[in-house]
Amino acid sequence: METREKRIRRLIYQSSYTGTRETDLLLGQFANRYLMKLKDEQLDDYEALLAQGDQNILAWVRGDLQIPANLNGTVFSLIKNFSTKL
């Protein structure tokens, strides 16, 4: 079974290498700053977001596409707010 620490390290790595440079920078920096502070349920939400692909995430953050309701929660709000500070 994967420990919380290993899971967070894996998610930080995945966040930094999504495929698109802009998303790598956004999610990599977000992950480094916030993942240790998130609850396990929020990590589940973050992992579900990552599974949607970097192009979708970037379009949702920019407002080009509407994020599906099941993914539009606290974690996405944190990411969107974080993106405005970059």
Reported as a single tens digit per residue, the pLDDT across 30-57 is 999 999 999 999 999 999 999 999 999 9
Per-residue confidence (pLDDT) for residue 46, from 0 to 100:
98
Calculate ∠ Cα 28-19-45, nearest 5°.
55
Q: Where are the domains of the chain?
A: 4-83
81 residue type, one letter: N
Spatial distance between the Cα atoms of 74 and 12, rounded to a whole number of angstroms: 18
Q: Which CATH architecture has domain 4-83?
A: Orthogonal Bundle (1.10)
pLDDT in the model for residue 72: 98
